[in-house]
Structure formats: C-alpha cells, structure tokens
Amino acid sequence: MPSPHSTQSQSAERRSAEPQRRSWLKPGTWHLRTRLILLAMTLLIAICGAVGVASYASMDAFLTRQLDGQLSQAAARSNDPGRPPSGGFNGRDPLDSRGQSVGTLNALILNGQVNSGGFLTSNTMRSPLSSGDKQVLLALETDAQPVDRTLSNGDYRLIAVRTNFGDVLVTGLPLAAQQSTLASLVWTFVFVSLAGLLLIGLVGTVLIRRTMKPLEQLSEVATRVSQLPLDAGEVALAVRVPPSNSNPGTEVGSVGHALNLMLDNVASALQARQKSETKVRQFVADASHELRTPLTAIRGYTELLRMTESFTLDGARSLARVQSQSERMTALVEDLLLLARLDEGQPLKLSEVDLNHLVVESVSDEKVMGPEHNWRLELPAEPVLVDGDPSQLRQVLINLLSNARKHTPPGTTVVTGVGKTAAGAAVVTVTDDGGGIPPEFVDQVFARFARADASRAGTPGGPGISAAEGTSGLGLSIVESIVEAHGGTVTVTSRPGRTQFILQLPPAGSTPQGATPSS
C-alpha cells in the first residue's frame, strides 16, 4: 500500500502540474479560446480601422473636388470678363453675388489692399471682413490654386485669381458642410463598427466555445485519469475519449485517438503489474505458510535438545543462537502473512475499542521490555472510542513503541498520547526525544524492508536512529497497512531530539469500507 508520504508527494505533484492561476497581466495564462477571440477581435478592429481610414480619405477627396468645382464656378461668376476695371462699374458691383450660396466669400484686392468684400448673408448682403480676415486674404498666392484657411466666419476653401485688369479677386466657400458630412461619416462608421464588433464577438465566442469543446473533453479525460490511484492495487482504467472526439481524420480527433492509445497501453501495463504483484503476494503468502511448519519443528527440537542433552559452553551458545534466529524467522513469517492478508483486502472484524485502555496496556508491556527508558502517558479523562480490530490496533502500538525502544539510547523519554481532532477523529501520538531519523530516510520509513543504514541489515538498529525500522524492516509497513485498512492515516515528523508518529483513526460509528462487525 502507498504510504501517506507518497500520497502527499503525489498530491503535491498534481498541484504543481495544475494550471497556474490565470492573470490578465500574463497572456500566457489565458484560455486558448480567450486568446482566439481576442485575436479575431483585434484583426477585425484593424480591418475596420483600415476601411474607415480609406473611406474617410476617399470621401474627403470627393467632397474637396466637389467643393473646388463649386469654388471655380463661383470665382468665374465673380470674375466677369465684361466688367470694367476697378473704379468704373457703370453702376454695377464687380463682386456680383447672384447665383452664389449663403456664406460665400468675395473680395477685391487692389494695390495691396482689400478694396471691398465680405461674407454673403441670407438677405443677399455681405458681412464685413475683420482685420484678421484681410491679412489672411492678402497673404494668398494668386496662382488660382484652392487652399484651406481659417477665418472669423469659420474654415474656408479659398482661391485667389489675378484678373486682366491687374486686381485680384478672392472667392471662398465655407468648409462647414464638408466637415459636417465627414463627421457624420466618422460617427456612423464608429457606431456601425462597434455594433458589428459586438455582434461578431458574441457570435464568435459561441462558435469558438463550441469548436473548443472537444479539447475540453480531452482535458477532462486526462484530469480524471490523473486522479485515479494508479500507484497500487487493482486499477480499472476504463476512462476513454468518446468516439466522436477520437476520429484520426481531424486535428482534435488525432489527439483523442493518441490519448486512447496511450490509455490502452497504460491499462495493459497496469494489468500486467497487477498480475505480477498478485503472483508475488501469493508466493509470499504460500511460502510463509509453508515455512511455519519447519520453523516450529526447529524451535521444538531446539528446546528438546536443551532439555535432554549436555553441551559445552560453545555448543550451548550456538544452540541458543539457533533458537533466537528461528524465533526471529518465525516473527518475520508472521509479519509477511499479516501483510499478505492486508494486501488481499480481507474484511476486518471490528468491535468498539477504547484507545486509552489499549495504550495503557501496550505501554505497560513495553515498559517491562525496556525499563531503561522513561515511559510517559498523556491521556484524556474521557474514553476515546473507535471501531477497529483490537489485536491489529494493539500490534500497531507495539510496533511503534518497540521501534522507539530499540532505536533510541537508554534514558530516552517516550511519550504516548491520545486525543481527538476538531472533526472528532481519534489521534494517537508516539513521541521520543532520541537522535531523530535521518532526513533522507524520513520519506521511506513506511516502505517494506527499508532501513536507515544498509550496514545494519539483520541487526536491531543502533543508537541515534529514533524509531527507525526494526529487525525485519516490516514493522512500520505493517503499521501503515493496518491503519489504512481501518480508514486512518499515519505520518511522521522528525528532527534531532524529537521524533513523532501521528495516527488518526475515524471515530466510532464510521466503519471503514469492507469491514465487518464482529459478533
């Protein structure tokens, strides 16, 4: 079974593999559909802007040509070739306003001075020119080329023509109508473009979301697979991409098809691994079961020899060594059988267990085995009840306490406490002030046959390794397997001078799945 540390590391890896929190300041974290929508909108805005600029320029050129034509006609009417030279009008105004529109400017420049002129009003009269207007008119080139100038009456398109009599006729038409037309064009284009962009944005969002839906389904499949417990046990990897999204004829379908092929390969590998693990477990269980009989015979014959035969000092020592090693092998075989039963997921026979009472008994037994240690209890006044297998929970406590005893020097204080979490779960802690577990070994303490120092294989450990793995290297693996079978967790924290194992078990009334109450 996986240890809490492997589960925690896998959770951390999954969290690190999750997409980072999206930030509008980091485009790289945006959804692909968001980037596609923004890209499409940016292109549309650029196209609308280009069309708007081209339309504005075209309309401006058209209106300018139209205005220049009108200006030329107005100048031609004012510059009547039959009029007399300045000073002799025969009763006729040389700046005849007939046929000209309101706002038209006419002026006559003679000898560097504005002789007459003004802006045509609605009553066919002329409003006078300001001094600033006269300065603008005097500065005009007499090349008959229209130019734009700003006068007191607004912006005008002006043309200055030198007549055959030596004077200069200036004619101008207001630009207000042209500017109003262009402004209307700009606002119309802006409103139409915004409405079009809004409509296209909404429709595009719907279409892009629908188009990206198969990718989201692929992501959902991959996410579901990532959440499956593939590290141990029998795994049914039935998650697949639906046929609608796994057609190799499309880009998304090719990805879905490749993902299905990968999942098929993973499922085959998991099945092969499960078969191999099942065979190994069955072999371990069968071998352990078969070893019990010869080991029992060895122990029996050893006892018989010690009672019936006389040995030299070396012979007695050797016989005692045979007996101790046979007892050690028997304990190892029992541990292997227990792990095999736990791996098979055999139902637990549960009953209500008072952890306070169980801890007191376990510590009392261990105190007899290790009187050189200081044993302390921290128990609540009220009973702490759980649903569990009393013998297995007792073995959990014995394994933890014996590890603390075997792998810490004499005089070490071992504190066993019982309590509850805020959620009501039962908590048992075993804490010692020994040398601590090496940092590189903390994540491996619950692995089977794990040892803090390979050179100590086959020995009970040594000082300076607090609560490290015992003689067989299976003690803490059994602890983890039993606790997880009861629906709980076991964790460890260690530093020099403090090592603590923490067990959490569901409170009474929450029977683990697969467990059966004992009669």
Average pLDDT over residues 99-106: 82
CB 438 within 8 A of CB 452: yes
* Confidence label for 457 from pLDDT (cuts 50, 70 and 90): very low
* Confidence label for 78 from pLDDT (cuts 50, 70 and 90): low
Q: Smallest Cα–Cα separation from 167: which of 79, 89, 75? A: 79
What's the pLDDT score for residue 79? 61
Q: Is pLDDT above 60 for 502?
A: yes
* Confidence label for 72 from pLDDT (cuts 50, 70 and 90): confident
What's the pLDDT score for residue 142? 84
Q: Is pLDDT above 60 for 200?
A: yes
Which uninterrupted H or E stretch holds 431? strand 426-432
pLDDT tens track for 208-243: 888 878 888 888 888 888 887 777 666 677 788 888
* Confidence label for 326 from pLDDT (cuts 50, 70 and 90): confident
- How high is the mean pLDDT of the chain? 80
Token pair 């649903």 is found at 387
In this structure, what token pair is assigned to residue 414? 């071992």
Average pLDDT over residues 359-381: 91
pLDDT tens track for 1-12: 344 444 444 444
CB 382 within 8 A of CB 507: no
Q: Is pLDDT above 60 for 31?
A: yes
CB 465 within 8 A of CB 437: yes
What's the pLDDT score for residue 416? 94
* Confidence label for 465 from pLDDT (cuts 50, 70 and 90): very low
- Determine what percent of the chain is predicted with pLDDT higher than 70: 82
- Determine what percent of the chain is predicted with pLDDT higher than 90: 24
Three-state SS string over 94-154 comes to: CCCCCCCCCCCEEEEEECCEEEEEEEECCCCCEECCCHHHHHHHHCCCCCCCCEEEEECCE
DSSP class of 170: E
Overall pTM > 0.75: no
pLDDT tens track for 419-447: 998 888 999 999 999 888 888 888 888 87
> CA 431, 434, 436: angle at the middle one, nearest 5?
90
Domains and their CATH numbers in the chain: 251-339 (1.10.287.130), 348-513 (3.30.565.10)
Q: What does 258-285 look like in DSSP terms, one character per residue?
A: HHHHHHHHHHHHHHHHHHHHHHHHHHHH
CB 122 within 8 A of CB 102: yes
d(CA 501, CA 431) in angstroms, rounded, equals 6
In this structure, what token pair is assigned to residue 341? 């039963």
CB atoms within 10 A of CB 166: 10
Packing angle, helices 313-343 and 251-308, rounded to 10: 150
Q: Smallest Cα–Cα separation from 96: which of 84, 119, 80? A: 80
In single-letter form, the type of residue at position 201 comes to G
pLDDT tens track for 239-268: 888 887 788 878 888 888 888 888 888 888
CB atoms within 10 A of CB 205: 16
DSSP class of 348: P
Average pLDDT over residues 386-414: 90
Strand order in the sheet with 385-388: 385-388, 349-354, 516-517
pLDDT tens track for 110-150: 888 888 888 988 877 888 999 999 999 999 888 888 999 99
Taking every pair of Cα atoms in the chain, the longest distance, rounded to a whole number of angstroms, is 169
Q: Is pLDDT above 80 for 491?
A: yes
